[in-house]
């Protein structure tokens, strides 16, 4: 987006530069297609007559250790499974490695019964001992950091459930107090092999850390990585692709007794941008493409010629938001945020004014090409816990005059030239960042800059490298405002957002506690912030569905009343899939490939 020309801004230079841009774009497409053809030649030769599906990943995997992975890693989702399986259409839980389960009347005890014929990708039996090891030795191990540990903590004290072997095929999960998501969490988290990993948990490196922390990196020979999912690792080529092969020991069989999956290989091409994904899909190099709104018109026109179908799953399970750094803490005596700007950001009327000043209808029409709708809640619309505006969810319609009035009520004032100042005469100006290369977010940032200029606020918009962005948000905490989003979580289960709303959660982005380095001093947690934290704990403990809905309704009301996140647009979930892939059951919840075990390729 940063290199594209805009007619209103470029004036008379548009025609000359536009022709040059078109020529360069054409050359780039030709070059990328040519390079893709070269890099794929060997793969295509090796894969002749082998049923394979090719998708894409935006970056190289950092590890093949599913516990240690802190990123979205498509390969791991295909390589590992938990005890139960979530249906991608209904969201209901179905038998997986566990063929059945029983829940006690008080819903604090669940006994899973494992299938008798489940094996690891190396042929070794998968047993109850693997389940107990995965939770007690890995996920509950304080020396092994993992995102799963946060969501498995129960109640205000944050204790873990007890996981014990109660039979040759039975394992019991016991919660010391009611915990509504126990079945979904305990059953859904990947199981790992005790026989392959136990030695690395019990031994330490020269620093005293378990060797497990560095096991199964990207340099590990594929045959040493043991998994239990639909596919197993066959090869990893840095900067090019991850190749998965059919797991010959996978437990699923079809109605006729045939082993699944039917697809022999699953290839994840490493691409550096969504533009490259589009080029590769159009040239036939990819079988599946997640379609951003700004690509939709182009992709839809080629549907018939390209022999693919564009699926629309309705509102995507994702949030996009603008948030300010509300952290009033210091590090080594230095405030994280300029105290002047911190006062603005922590003024409620300021945040509400910003929400009213952002023209979301124009954002939907111009950036999303009409393929989206305003987003007002952190809980997805597909969830039964979603609170609609009609049910009392506060919303902030586009109203720049109301935004100005709110600012003036809070003591801000305007200069004769329309520049907003605070009560001490400081011009209101802040830096807004997002990840460079995401065209949608870059376009949203550019529009927000224009929208806020209309109410006298100067925004310095700076798309930056993703790794730099992550370092600012999680390490240095040195930022003022950003545009980002959360994706997926636990789907329709609102407790999946507990790590965002827990005041010490690792995703509590707007007021992040130190997750490493020097501790923070004088960090302040507001009453409403603590209240949402407590409500999420209560929601996880409440087993009565009606009462649980009311708890999460109150969290949404508070989130919208105090606006730590200013939600923007909920795009539609769109995906293009080749027509020779049979059995696709697309949904916003599950995506294109949630039932990959039963997909077939007719080519």
Q: Which helix (H) or strand (E) holds 98?
A: strand 98-103
Q: To the nearest 5 percent, what fractions of the chain are helix, strand and coil? A: 35, 20, 40
Single out the residue of 131, 143, 135, 128 nearest to residue 203, CA to CA.
143
Could you read off the pLDDT of 278-287 as tens digits, one per residue?
999 999 999 9
Residue 195 has pLDDT above 80, yes or no: yes
Check whether residue 487 and residue 550 sit in a common domain.
Answer: yes
Give the range of the structural domain holding residue 466, as residue numbers without chain letter: 318-568
Check whether residue 330 and residue 267 sit in a common domain.
Answer: no
Could you read off the pLDDT of 520-566 as tens digits, one per residue?
999 999 999 999 999 999 999 898 889 999 999 999 999 999 999 99
How many angstroms separate the Cα of 516 from the Cα of each of 138, 472, 477, 509? 21, 12, 11, 15
Identify how many contiguous H helices and E strands the chain contains and give both numbers: 18, 25
Could you read off the pLDDT of 398-417 as tens digits, one per residue?
999 999 999 999 999 999 99
Check whether residue 96 and residue 167 sit in a common domain.
Answer: yes
Residues in CB range of 140: below 8 A, 6 or more apart: 149, 152, 160
Give the per-residue pLDDT at 488.
63
Mean pLDDT of the chain: 89
Mapping DSSP to helix (H, G, I), strand (E, B) and coil, where does residue 271 land? Answer: coil
Give the per-residue pLDDT at 48.
52
Check whether residue 63 and residue 157 sit in a common domain.
Answer: no
- Residue 550 — φ and ψ, nearest 5°? -70, -35
Check whether residue 54 and residue 157 sit in a common domain.
Answer: no
- Please tell me the least confidently modeled range out of 10-24, 31-45, 181-195, 382-396: 10-24
Check whether residue 364 and residue 428 sit in a common domain.
Answer: yes
Question: Radius of gyration of the chain from Cα atoms?
Answer: 25
Residue 312 has pLDDT above 80, yes or no: yes
Residue 189 has pLDDT above 60, yes or no: yes
Residue 215 has pLDDT above 70, yes or no: yes
Point out the domain boundary residue: 171, 199, 227. 199
Instruction: Kindly state the average pLDDT of the residues 87-100.
Output: 93
Check whether residue 374 and residue 457 sit in a common domain.
Answer: yes
Task: Show the CA angle centred on residue 571, arms to residues 568 and 577, nearest 5°.
Answer: 160
Give the per-residue pLDDT at 453.
98
Check whether residue 394 and residue 356 sit in a common domain.
Answer: yes
Count the domains in the chain: 4
Give the per-residue pLDDT at 38.
45
Contact assessment for residue 230 and residue 78, using Cβ atoms and an 8 Å cutoff: yes
Which CATH number fits the domain that encloses residue 379? 3.10.105.10
How many angstroms separate the Cα of 281 from the Cα of each of 32, 239, 240? 12, 18, 16
Which CATH number fits the domain that encloses residue 168? 3.90.76.10
**DSSP code per residue over 242-253:** EEEEE-TT---B
Check whether residue 124 and residue 222 sit in a common domain.
Answer: no
DSSP state of 60: -
Check whether residue 37 and residue 126 sit in a common domain.
Answer: no
Give the per-residue pLDDT at 24.
32
57 vs 356: CA distance, rounded Å = 36
Instruction: Kindly state the average pLDDT of the residues 52-76.
Output: 88
Contacts 24+ apart (CB under 8 A), 456-459: 456/404, 456/414, 456/415, 456/418, 456/419, 456/420, 456/428, 457/354, 457/357, 457/420, 457/428, 457/429, 457/430, 458/419, 458/427, 458/428, 458/429, 458/430, 459/429, 459/430, 459/431, 459/432
Residue 66 has pLDDT above 80, yes or no: yes
What is the number of alpha carbons within 13 Å of residue 309 lying toward its C-beta? 12
What burial class does residue 106 get, using C-beta atoms within 10 Å of its C-beta: 0-12 exposed, 13-18 middle, 19+ buried? exposed
529 vs 339: CA distance, rounded Å = 20
DSSP state of 303: T
Point out the domain boundary residue: 149, 171, 199. 199
Single out the residue of 194, 151, 225, 193 nearest to residue 500, CA to CA.
151
What's the pLDDT band for 148 if we cut at 50, 70, 90?
Answer: confident
- Cite the DSSP H helix spans in 47-146: 74-79, 128-132
Single out the residue of 371, 362, 261 nearest to residue 310, CA to CA.
371
Residue 110 has pLDDT above 90, yes or no: yes
Check whether residue 523 and residue 403 sit in a common domain.
Answer: yes
Could you read off the pLDDT of 6-42 as tens digits, one per residue?
322 233 222 223 323 333 333 333 333 333 444 444 4
120 vs 227: CA distance, rounded Å = 6
What's the pLDDT band for 382 if we cut at 50, 70, 90?
Answer: confident
Residues in CB range of 142: below 8 A, 6 or more apart: none
Cα-Cα-Cα-Cα dihedral sign, residues 373, 378, 380, 381: negative
Check whether residue 55 and residue 34 sit in a common domain.
Answer: no
What's the pLDDT band for 118 if we cut at 50, 70, 90?
Answer: very high
Give the per-residue pLDDT at 36.
43
Neighbours of 272 (CB within 10 A): 12
- Residue 444 — φ and ψ, nearest 5°? -65, -40
524 vs 534: CA distance, rounded Å = 16
- Residue 268 — φ and ψ, nearest 5°? -110, 105
């Amino acid at each position: 987006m940063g290199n594209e020309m805009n007619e209103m801004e470029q004036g008379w230079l548009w025609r000359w530069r536009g022709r040059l841009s078109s020529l360069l774009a054409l050359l780039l497409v030709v070059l990328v297609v040519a390079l893709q053809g070269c890099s794929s030649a060997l793969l295509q030769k090796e894969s002749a007559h082998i049923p394979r599906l090719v998708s894409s990943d935006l970056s190289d995997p950092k590890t093949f250790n599913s516990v240690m992975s802190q990123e979205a890693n498509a390969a791991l989702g295909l390589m590992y499974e938990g005890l139960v399986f979530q249906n991608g259409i209904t969201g209901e839980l179905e038998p997986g490695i566990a063929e059945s389960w029983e829940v006690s009347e008080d819903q604090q005890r669940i006994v899973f019964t494992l299938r008798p014929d489940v094996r690891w990708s190396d042929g070794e039996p998968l047993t109850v001992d693997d389940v107990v090891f995965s939770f007690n030795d890995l996920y509950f191990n304080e020396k092994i950091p993992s995102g799963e540990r946060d969501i498995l903590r129960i109640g205000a004290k944050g204790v873990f459930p007890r996981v014990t072997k109660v039979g040759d095929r039975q394992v019991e999960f016991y919660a010391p107090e009611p915990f509504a998501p126990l079945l979904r969490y305990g059953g859904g988290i990947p199981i790992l092999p005790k026989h392959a990993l136990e030695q690395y948990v019990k031994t330490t490196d020269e620093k005293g850390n378990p060797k497990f922390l560095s096991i199964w990196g990207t340099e590990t020979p594929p045959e040493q990585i043991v998994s239990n999912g639909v596919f197993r690792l066959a090869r990893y080529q840095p900067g090019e692709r991850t190749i998965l092969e059919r797991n010959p020991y996978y437990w699923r069989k079809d109605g006729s007794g045939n082993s699944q999956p039917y697809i022999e290989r699953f290839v994840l091409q490493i691409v550096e941008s969504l533009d490259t994904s589009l080029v590769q899909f159009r040239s036939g190099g990819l079988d599946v493409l997640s379609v951003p709104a700004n690509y939709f018109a182009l992709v839809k026109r080629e549907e018939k010629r390209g022999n693919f179908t564009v699926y629309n799953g309705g509102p995507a399970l994702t949030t996009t938001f603008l948030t300010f750094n509300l952290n009033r803490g210091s590090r080594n005596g230095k405030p994280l945020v300029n105290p002047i700007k911190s006062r603005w950001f922590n003024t409620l009327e300021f945040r509400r004014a910003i929400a009213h000043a952002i023209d979301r209808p124009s954002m939907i029409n111009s950036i999303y090409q009409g393929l989206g709708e305003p987003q007002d809640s952190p809980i997805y619309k597909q969830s039964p816990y979603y609170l609609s505006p009609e049910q009392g969810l506060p919303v902030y319609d586009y109203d720049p005059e109301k935004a100005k009035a709110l600012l003036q009520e809070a003591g801000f004032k305007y200069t004769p030239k329309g520049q907003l100042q605070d009560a001490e005469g400081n011009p209101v100006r802040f830096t807004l960042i997002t990840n460079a290369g995401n065209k949608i977010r870059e376009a949203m940032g550019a529009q927000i800059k224009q929208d806020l200029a209309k109410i006298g606020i100067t925004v310095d918009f700076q798309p930056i490298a993703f790794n730099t962005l992550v370092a600012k948000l999680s390490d240095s905490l040195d930022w003022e405002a950003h545009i980002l989003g959360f994706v997926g979580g636990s789907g329709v289960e609102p407790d999946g957002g507990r790590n965002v709303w827990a005041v010490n959660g690792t995703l509590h982005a707007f007021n992040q506690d130190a997750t490493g380095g020097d501790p923070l001093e004088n960090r302040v947690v507001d009453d409403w912030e603590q209240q949402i934290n407590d409500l999420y704990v209560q929601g996880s403990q409440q087993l009565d569905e009606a009462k649980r809905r009311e708890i999460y309704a109150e969290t949404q009301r508070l989130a919208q009343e105090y606006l730590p996140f200013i939600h923007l647009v909920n795009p539609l979930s769109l995906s293009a899939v080749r027509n020779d892939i049979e059995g696709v059951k697309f949904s916003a919840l599950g995506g294109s490939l949630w039932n990959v075990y039963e997909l077939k390729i007719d080519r």
